Amino acid sequence: GQNIDQPTEMTATEGAIVQINCTYQTSGFNGLFWYQQHAGEAPTFLSYNVLDGLEEKGRFSSFLSRSKGYSYLLLKELQMKDSASYLCAVRGGANNLFFGTGTRLTVIP
């Protein structure tokens, strides 16, 4: 079975840094993805980790520890447009994705 947990909601201030955590227990692991999703739209790809460590891409960074079943997404210099849901997803052996509960981030002025 798949069990992927994220906080349901978070609030952060414009210009600040926010870290969204994801813990997982899955029967297979073939990489971990982070997606951003605005209401009523399809998810957009943010990052992919398959090895332990930190992947940095502009204002967004993602970290993975396979031994701990743990990942986080770090968003720096928050902007109002970053208000969205952030989805953690684990890829199984069949290339299918299992999504976490999603974290709704609200950025306030």
Partner 1 sequence: GAVVSQHPSWVICKSGTSVKIECRSLDFQATTMFWYRQFPKQSLMLMATSNEGSKATYEQGVEKDKFLINHASLTLSTLTVTSAHPEDSSFYICSAPGYNEQFFGPGTRLTVL
Q: What tokens were used for 6? A: 């994220």
Does 43 participate in binding partner 1 (rule CB under 8 A)? yes
Q: State yes or no: residue 22 binds partner 1 (CB under 8 A).
A: no
The residue among 30 and 74 lying less far from partner 1, judged by its C-beta, is: 30
| 40 vs 4: CA distance, rounded Å | 22
SS3 80: helix
* Contact flag: residue 69 with partner 1 (CB under 8 A): no
Should residue 48 be labelled a site residue for partner 1 when binding is judged by CB under 8 A? yes
CB 98 within 8 A of CB 88: no
> Counting contacts by CB under 8 A, is residue 102 touching partner 1?
yes
Gyration radius from the chain CA atoms: 13
Binding interface with partner 1 (CB under 8 A): 31, 33, 40-45, 48, 50, 85, 87, 89, 91, 94-102, 104
